[in-house]
Chain A
Amino acid sequence: MYFPEKPIFPGLLFSFVMQQKTIFMRNLTLILTMLLIVSGAYSQDGVFAYKELPSVAMQNIKGIAFNSTNITNNGKPIIISFWATWCKPCIRELSAISDVYDDWVTETGVKLYAVSIDDSRSAPLVGPLINGKGWEFEVLLDPNSDFKRAMNVGPIPHTFLLDGNGKVVWQHTSFAEGDELHLIDLVRQLNKDGKLTE
C-alpha cells in the first residue's frame, strides 16, 4: 500500500498556522492537524487510503449519467486513468495500454476506466477520438473536474489501481514508456496475493 513514509503535510499545516492572524483559523487548522495525526495513528487501515470511491456525478460518451460509485468490475482489479485529449503523455499511456489491453483482460480480468477531464471545449472530441483510435476502455466525462478534485488529482496523467473491493491500492502521476509493464505486474500481484507488497 502506498503512503508517504514521512508525511510532509502536518509540517506544512503548522507553518501555515503560524501565518494566520485570527484565533479561529488557528483553531480550525489545529483541529484538522490533530485529526490527521490522531486518526492516522489509531485507525488500522490508515486514513490515507481510499477505502471506497467518493460519489461524483459524471457522464459516459453517450451523454448518459454515470456515478463514480458504479466503477466496478465483479471483484477483479480496476485501473482508473485521468487523461485529456490535449495531454500528449496521457495519449501515449493509453495507446501503450490499448496495444496490449486484450491480453491484459484475458489474463487478469482487469478493467480500465479512462476519465477524461476535457472541458466543454474538447469534451465533444472525446468520443470520436477514442473510437478513431480504436480504444476499448470505459470512457467517462468529467468536464468540470469534479471527480478529479474528489480524487485529489493534480497534473495528469494520473493512474489509480483498485483492488476487487474497490479500494485504491496504488497511484502514480506521469507516464514514461515502460510504466505500463510495471502496472500490469502490480495487477498480477494483486490477483495472486490479494494485496501489494511493495
Chain B
Amino acid sequence: MNLLKKNTYLFSCLVFFLFLLPVFLQAQDILKGSEVHGSMQADAIYYLPDDKIGITDSTLDGKTIRMNGFTEVNYSLGNFTAGLRFEAYLPPLIGYDAQLNGVGVPYFYVNYKNDFIDVTAGNFYEQFGYGMMLRTYQEWTLGYDNSLRGLRIKLTPWKGITLKGVYGVQRYYWEPYKDYNRGIVKGFDADFYLNDIFSSMNDAKVKLTLGGSFVSDYQQGSTKEVAQNGKIYLLKMPVNVANYGGRFNLNIGGFNWFAEYAHKINDPTAMNNYIYKNGNGIFTNLSYSQKGLGISLMSKWIDNMGYKSNRTITNNMLNINYLPSITKEHTYALASMYSYSTQANGEAGVSGNVTFHLPKNSKLGGKTGMTIALNFSQVNGINKKAINDTVPVDELGTLGYATSLFSVGKEVYYQDANIEITKKFGKKWKGIFTYLYQTYNKDVIEGHAHDYGTIYSQIGIADVTWKITGKNSLRFELQGLWTKQDKGNWAAALIEYTVAPHWFISVMDQWNYGNTDPEQQLQYYLLSAGYNYNTTRVALSWGRQREGVICVGGVCRYVPATNGVTLTVTSSF
C-alpha cells in the first residue's frame, strides 16, 4: 500500500493505460474524425558581457542563458475542440517583464460549435468591432497576453446576425485570480450584416453592416486611498465601469467607409491620475480603390479612453480595449527606431495613404511597371482646458479637464511623411526605395519629463534583390538616418543570401557614426543563419541587439541593448 502511495503517479498512468487503451482502440471510427494540431516556439539566448553597451558580469548575475518557449496543442473531434498552451520563461529574456519568470499552462479551453451556437469555456481571445470597447489577444514577441478566462457564447439566430456574450477575468502574468485581485469583465456584442439578413438586399450594390457593444468591468472597493504630494486622498470609486458604443461599415462599389464610436463612464485610475472625466473615442476610415489605385483616409480622436481591469497598475498589461495607433507600421531597422505608440489619455490623429501602380510599358512605369505608395500621418494632443480657475488640468480627484469632440491640441506628438517605390529592373533585379521624414516627441511618447524634446529625422532606405538563379538570391539593404537630436546619425547595411526553400544567411551592421560622444559611436553587428523545413524554422544568430522599443498594435516593449548568441526554433503541425 505504501509503495502504491509513493507511486500514485505511476499507478494512475497504469490505470489509464489499462482501462482507457481498449476504449480508444474500440473508438477507432470516431478517432478517424479527430485531429491534433499545434505549434511551438523557443527563443534561447546565451548572453555575453559587453562593456561598451553597459553589460557586465554583474548585470548578467550568472543568468547568462535565458529562454522563452511555448507549445500549444489543439485537439478536435467533430464539433468539439480542446486545447492548451504550455509556456516556460526560464528566466525570461532580457527586456521581458521579470514577472513572467515561471512555467505553467496559462491558456486552456474547450469549445463546442455548430451553425447556431459556439461555446467556449476556459481562455479565449475576442474582439468587439474595431476593439475600442474590448479586445483580448496574444503577441508572443511582446510577451503580451490579456486573454479572458471564463465563458463565451456566440449565437447565430438568423443568417447575418451574430450575438456574443463574454464573462471572465484577464490573464496577468502568472498571478492566479482570487479575492477580486483584478476586475471581472462582462461584455455583449451584436453584428448585423443587413445584406445577409434581408434577401432583397443580397445582391445590392450597397453593403451595410451595423454593430454595437456593451462592456462592463467590476472592481471591488468603493473607496480608495491615494497618496500624492505628501497627502493622502480618500477617493470614492465607481465599482462597475461601463464602456459602450456602436459602429457601421458602408460599402458602395470601390468606396468603403467605417466608423466606430465608444463612450466610457468615469474611471479614475493610476494611468489618468484618478480623474473622474468620462471617456470618448472615434475611429473612422474612408477609402476608395480600383485596380491600380488605392486611397484611404483614416482619423482617430480619443479622450481618456484607457480601460484596464485593474485601476492601480501602470504597466501595459490588463488592457480590456484596444486603441490602435493610426501611424504606418515600419519594419526596416532604422525606420522603426522612432515609432509611435498610442497615448490613451488623449490624442487626435489623421493618416492618409495612396498606393498606385503604373502599368507595364507605360511612360512612367517603364518596361516592367512600378508601384508607388505615399503615406502621411500626424498625431497631436487634444485640447484640454481647466474646468475652473482654481483646479489645474488633470488634478487628482476632480473632473480633470474639459474638452470638445474633435478638438486638436497644439503639441505635435508624432508626424511621418514617407514614400515607397517598388520597381523591377528586368527579370533578375528588383528594388524597394523608401524615404521618410519623421517627427518624434520623445518626452510625450516615452513619458519623460521634458528631458529630450522632439527628434526630427530623415531616413533613406534602398532594398535591392538580385535573383541569381531560380532558387538563389541575394538581398541588400542600405539605410541611413540623419538627425541632429538624440543619438545623431546612423547607417545600416545588410546582405542576405537565400537558397530556396531551405537556407538563408545574413550579416547586418548598424552604426551610430553620428553620436556626439565618440565613445558611443558603436557598431551593432549581427550574423544570422537559418534553415527551413516546411513549417519548421531554426535560426541562429550572433551579435549585438540595439536598444529600442518594439511596438505591435497599441502595445510596446522596451528592449535594452544586448550581446549574445540567439537560437530560435518555430514549428507547427
Q: Do A and B bind each other?
A: yes
* Contact of B12 (CB < 8 Å), options: A4, A9, A27, A133: A27
Evaluate contact between B28 and A50: CB separation under 8 angstroms.
no
Cβ of A192 < 8 Å from any Cβ of B? no
The size of the chain A interface, using a CB distance under 8 A, is 83
Binds A, one of B44-52, B287-295, B398-406: B287-295
A154: which B residues are within 8 A, CB to CB?
A: 39, 41, 140, 570-572
Evaluate contact between B137 and A144: CB separation under 8 angstroms.
yes
A65: which B residues are within 8 A, CB to CB?
A: 160, 162, 191, 193, 196
Cβ of A75 < 8 Å from any Cβ of B? no
Evaluate contact between A50 and B573: CB separation under 8 angstroms.
no
Residue of B nearest to A16 (CB): B86
B326: which A residues are within 8 A, CB to CB?
A: 121
Cβ of A171 < 8 Å from any Cβ of B? yes
A3: which B residues are within 8 A, CB to CB?
A: 573
Evaluate contact between A120 and B113: CB separation under 8 angstroms.
no
Binds A, one of B18-26, B222-230, B238-246, B515-523: B18-26
Cβ of B485 < 8 Å from any Cβ of A? no
* Contact of B572 (CB < 8 Å), options: A47, A64, A95, A173: A173
Evaluate contact between B500 and A179: CB separation under 8 angstroms.
yes
B325: which A residues are within 8 A, CB to CB?
A: 121
Cβ of B256 < 8 Å from any Cβ of A? yes
Q: Per-residue CB proximity of B343-387 to A under 8 Å, as 1/0?
A: 000000000011111010000000000010100000000000000
Evaluate contact between A181 and B471: CB separation under 8 angstroms.
yes
Cβ of B331 < 8 Å from any Cβ of A? yes
Q: Per-residue CB proximity of A7-22 to B under 8 Å, as 1/0?
A: 1110011001001100
Cβ of A195 < 8 Å from any Cβ of B? no
Cβ of A124 < 8 Å from any Cβ of B? yes
Evaluate contact between A172 and B501: CB separation under 8 angstroms.
yes
Q: Per-residue CB proximity of A130-149 to B under 8 Å, as 1/0?
A: 11111000000001111001
Residue of A nearest to B159 (CB): A65
Evaluate contact between A132 and B467: CB separation under 8 angstroms.
no
Complex CA–CA separation, A150 to B570 (angstroms): 17
Q: Per-residue CB proximity of B76-91 to A under 8 Å, as 1/0?
A: 1000010010100000
Evaluate contact between A176 and B473: CB separation under 8 angstroms.
yes
Given contacts A13-B71, A47-B35, A121-B329, contact A178 B294 (CB under 8 A): no
23 A-B residue pairs with CB within 8 Å: A12-B71, A26-B9, A32-B75, A35-B24, A40-B36, A42-B25, A43-B31, A47-B31, A51-B35, A121-B329, A127-B256, A127-B294, A128-B289, A131-B294, A132-B294, A144-B131, A144-B137, A153-B39, A154-B571, A173-B537, A177-B471, A178-B469, A181-B500
The 4 residue pairs across chains A and B that have the minimum distance between CB atoms: A128-B294, A132-B355, A121-B324, A132-B294
Beyond the given A47-B34, A153-B572, please list 6 additional residue pairs across the A-B interface where CB-CB is below 8 A.
Answer: A3-B573, A12-B40, A35-B24, A120-B283, A129-B294, A131-B254
